[in-house]
Amino acid sequence: MGAGLAGLAAAQLLQRQGIDVLVLEARSRVGGRVNTLDELPGHPEGGANVIGPNYGRVIDAAKSGDVKLHSPARSGETGFIINGQRILPDAWATSAANPLQGPMRALAPDRLLGAALRDNPLKTSSDWLNPRMAEYDLGVDSYLASLGFSDAAVSLVAANNSYGNSIQDTSMLSLLRVGNNFARARAMRQPVYEAARGNMRIPESIAQQFSGSIKFNVTVSRVERSGAEIIVQDLQGQQYHGDALIMALPLPALRNIQIDAMSEAQREAVTAVNYHKVTQVHLLVREPYWNDALPASWWTNGPLGRLFLRPSANPGEYANLTVWINGADCDRLAAMSEAEAGDTVRREVEAVLPEARGLLTTGKVLRWTDDPFAGGSWAVWAPGQLGRYFELLQQPLGRIFFAGEHTARANPGMEGAMESGERAALDSLRTLL
Amino acid sequence: MKPTRIYPHRTNARRDRRAGLGASLLTAVAICLALASQAAEESSPARARLSGEQAFAACAACHSLADGAVHKVGPNLWGVYGRAAAQAEDYAYSPALAAAGLTWTRENLFAWIAGSEAMVPGSWMLFQNNLQPDEVMSLIDYLAAHGGTGGQ
Ligand SMILES: Cc1cc2nc3c(=O)[nH]c(=O)nc-3n(C[C@H](O)[C@H](O)[C@H](O)COP(=O)(O)OP(=O)(O)OC[C@H]3O[C@@H](n4cnc5c(N)ncnc54)[C@H](O)[C@@H]3O)c2cc1C
């Protein structure tokens, strides 16, 4: 179940081992949270964008499918908008609007976290799950305070925190995990990648080489076991029978499925773990508003989150400005129509960047949290949840196995999704041989 | 609604093919076993152990295993068994593995597959999937059979 990278990796592995595999997918496309916006100029990414140099499975899937990878175009320097006031990158340390004190003033808001992660107790990619690290399973705010971060510094870190919907509800272990991954990626001194024609080409290529079948527009709503057989039912009442099942879905999607054999404890885990709220507004930029003195990309501590410029692929083509809104700031846009949300955000961008007035049109609004098949961008772990729920969430129910990014140990994101699919495929293979 | 069968002629044919035994005999055995163990199957199904070749499916995305094959994100593992660590040509190893001074004996391969990053702090192979100890032993045999030398 699920034709995201986790489900596709599992399906491919099993099929190569001689197992008959059917993939059921609720949407009309593969890829799940990989979602290239092919309809927009420059095909920007609406979902996963960065492929790390050590993403072995993702890179192999691309290479074996002739999907070309390249390093993303650089988008130049980032300016800061603090409490509505613009600060140029060079002026940050001395700006009156910089709320930091002492030597910390020299640290740009997007560098603060790096400073907190410098002495990282995590040494391996899976140490975040190591019970010996449980002392770091506390709110990021408390940890930062213990390092001597001022309230102002903590609130800058909180403004664009991607690993929780509030800083108190974000386990420090999540950030230490990210820090460990960044440090390794830096040490590797290799570039990051994206698929040249969009990351969607990667799941598409796995699907194309998969000789089993993928059924689209099948929303599974119920799973039950009858003897050794597993019966899956979709919203239309259509049933599918099999010897084993891999549920490669994000937790918010899993919550909507009745799974007869699931224990109270496991159901609690499925319900309790939240997903990060992300809304992206993709604006088309007709011609540059930026210049040598004015950055294209901006980091704000306000409701617009971060503004990432993706340069146009060819001269004369539209560039893309992705407004990446996260956490509770997504809530106000959830109630609006897509057009209204897009225009609201575009007007707010023009208010802080008057130079861009008249140059922007709204391309696309992606509200991951409101997407019933995703429910957010990725699992976020509150203090106390990793120890209680992580193992439980991948405990098989007989021949029902669980996969998906939230069950991966060593790798995050796309690579984690494929790692988890591989693990679940091997687990199920043992019961099918 | 009419149920769809994912596996119209289920496991028997597959079992026979893999075991390489007479189909009729094995089919009969399989049916008996299936009936006897149906109830137990539901909550904790029998788990076979993966062969070395099957277990290598967990490595294949990052490692080729053929003489002269190109490196993937990890180095080609042809001939790795019995060899000193970090010796594949034209592969950029982590400084940590390059300086580890290891030889890929059975014991060292076992420890590496069980926890490479703990074994060689600062190394770059991120692998944490639950291969079982006896599967890892078969996997090492499988590696040894692909260009392996000496070792023990
Ligand atoms: C905005 C954004 C940015 C990201 N950036 C990065 C990045 O830069 N780098 C990175 O590595 N990762 C990134 N990620 C994370 C990455 O996209 C995911 O970790 C990964 O794609 C998850 O794969 P998955 O297979 O676990 O889940 P999914 O891709 O979500 O796949 C699950 C599939 O199940 C289907 N499904 C759901 N419910 C049902 C149902 N009831 N019946 C049938 N099918 C169902 C869904 O439609 C979907 O296709 C990002 C994600 C987002 C949203």
Specify if B96 maps to a domain.
Answer: yes
Identify the CATH number of the domain in which residue B103 sits.
1.10.760.10
**C-alpha of residue A235 to centroid of ligand 1, in Å:** 21
User: Does B11 share its domain with B63?
Assistant: no
Does B58 lie in the same domain as B24?
A: no
pLDDT tens-digit readout, A40-66: 999 999 999 999 999 999 999 999 999
CA of residue B104 to ligand 1 center, whole Å: 38
- pLDDT, tens only, A379-393: 999 999 999 999 999
Q: Do B1 and A236 touch (CB under 8 A)?
A: yes
> Considering CB atoms only, which of A60, A184, A241 is closest to B62?
A60
**In a 10 Å sphere around its CB, with 0-12 CB exposed, 13-18 middle and 19+ buried, how is residue A224 labelled?**
middle
Residue type, A108: A
Q: Which chain B residue's Cα is nearest to A230?
A: B42
Residue B82 resides in a domain = yes
CB–CB of A78/A221 below 8 Å? Answer: no
On whether residue B77 sits in a domain, the answer given is yes
Q: Residue B14 has what pLDDT?
A: 40
Same domain? B110 vs B68: yes
Q: Are residues B133 and B113 in the same domain?
A: yes
Q: Choose which residue among A1, A249, A255 to substitute to test ligand 1 binding: the one with the highest number of ligand atoms within 8 A of its C-beta.
A: A249
In angstroms, the CA A112 to CA A152 distance is 11
Domains identified in chain B, total number: 2
What pLDDT, on a 0 to 100 scale, did the predictor assign at position B129?
A: 86
3-state helix, strand, coil in chain A (%, to 5): 40, 20, 40
Q: How confident is the model at residue B130 (pLDDT cuts 50, 70, 90)?
A: confident
Query: Are residues B139 and B109 part of one domain?
Result: yes
Among candidate residues A353, A233, A372, A368, the one with its CA nearest the CA of residue A288 = A353
d(CA A215, CA A232): 13
Within this chain, do residues B113 and B80 fall inside the same structural domain, yes or no?
A: yes
How far is the C-alpha of A298 from the C-alpha of A306, rounded, in Å?
A: 6
B132, B61: one domain? yes
Q: Domain for residue B111, yes or no?
A: yes
The answer to whether A337 and A313 have CB atoms below 8 angstroms apart is no
User: B93 and B112: one domain?
Assistant: yes
Asked whether B117 and A124 are in contact (CB, 8 A), the reply is: yes
Q: Percent of chain B at pLDDT above 90?
A: 65
Decide if B150 is inside a domain.
no
Residues found in chain A = 433
Cβ partners under 8 Å of residue A154, min gap 6: A140, A141, A144, A145, A167
pLDDT along chain A (433 residues), means of 10: 98 97 98 97 96 97 97 91 96 96 94 92 97 98 96 97 97 97 93 96 98 97 95 98 98 97 96 98 96 96 97 88 97 95 98 97 97 98 98 97 98 98 98 95
- From the list B38, B61, B131, the residue facing A228 with the nearest CB is B38
B chain contacts of residue A423, beta-carbon cutoff 8 Å: 129-130
Q: Is the CB of A374 under 6 A from ligand 1?
A: yes
Domain membership flag for residue B25: yes
Using DSSP bridges, classify how beta strands A306-310 and A85-87 pair: parallel, antiparallel or unpaired.
unpaired
DSSP label at residue A168: T
- Partner residue facing A56 (CB), from B34, B44, B72: B72
Give the minimum alpha-carbon distance from B145 to chain A in angstroms, rounded to a whole number: 20
Q: How many CB atoms lie within 10 A of CB A106?
A: 13
Q: Are residues B2 and B69 in the same domain?
A: no
Domain-embedded: residue B104 = yes
Give the pLDDT confidence of A221-257 residue by residue, as tens digits: 999 999 999 999 999 999 999 999 999 999 999 999 9
In the reported structure, the alpha carbon of residue A32 is separated from the centroid of ligand 1 by a whole-number distance in angstroms of 4
Residue B152 covered by a domain: no
pLDDT digits (tens, 9 = 90+) for B29-57: 444 344 444 555 567 889 999 999 999 99
Ligand 1 proximity of A252 Cβ (cutoff 6 Å): no
Q: What is the mean pLDDT of chain B?
A: 80
Domains of chain A, with CATH numbers?
A: 5-39+47-71+197-261+397-432 (3.50.50.60), 73-106+278-375 (3.90.660.10)
The SS3 of residue B50 is coil
| Shared domain check, B36 and B58 | no
A247 lines ligand 1 (CB under 6 A): no
pLDDT of residue A313: 79
B20/B65 same-domain check: no
Give the domain extent around B21. 1-44
Reported ipTM: the value is 0.94
Q: How many CB atoms lie within 10 A of CB B63?
A: 22
Question: Could you tell me if B64 and B105 lie in one domain?
Answer: yes
Asked whether residue B7 carries a pLDDT value surpassing 50, the answer given is no
User: What's the confidence (pLDDT) of residue A54?
Assistant: 94
